[in-house]
Amino acid sequence: MNSNFNLTSYNPAKKYAGFHFFVLNKGLNSGKPLLDPCPNCFVCSCNSEEEKENLYWIFFALWQGKRFHQLLIGSVIPFIKIKETKNLVQESFLKTKTNPAVFQKALNLLKFANEKDLHFQNLAFTIRKIKIELAIGLVS
């Protein structure tokens, strides 16, 4: 079963409707899925909410695993090309279809780990703010 997602360059003048998300395409974070667009990104358009959700997390897993690094080209500002990116994601998408139960379990664990990571990042940010306020209070 193939996914019929479409990967195109982001155009800020165009309004995007339907099931889509964005993918960073320049720099060492290339391949990172985004909910909001940025100047250097692709648009991943999907056929359904389920396909969008699955593809978002496939992109996320490939990005976390640094699989997009093998596609990077360019010496000053590395970037990924649409065709190679789509091929890698399509291949990964097909692998998820061979054992959907394993994919779903891994997906749930990845979502949980990401949720905890975001929680701890917010906690660390709050602690830094508290430390600054305490330090200011000491010297004021």
Indicate whether 23 and 73 sit together in one domain: yes
Indicate whether 13 and 69 sit together in one domain: yes
Indicate whether 81 and 108 sit together in one domain: no
- DSSP letters spanning 59-93: HHHHHHTTGGGGG-B-SSS-B--HHHHHHHHHHHH
Give the pLDDT confidence of 41-80 residue by residue, as tens digits.
999 999 999 999 999 999 999 999 999 999 999 989 999 9
6-9 and 33-34: which strand pairing?
Answer: unpaired
Domain range for 77: 1-98
pTM: 0.85
**Residue 121 amino acid letter:** Q
According to the model, what pLDDT value does residue 2 have?
A: 57
Count: domains in the chain:
2
Indicate whether 103 and 89 sit together in one domain: no
Give the pLDDT confidence of 79-94 residue by residue, as tens digits.
999 999 999 999 999 9
What separation, in Å, do the N-terminal and C-terminal C-alpha atoms of the chain show?
66
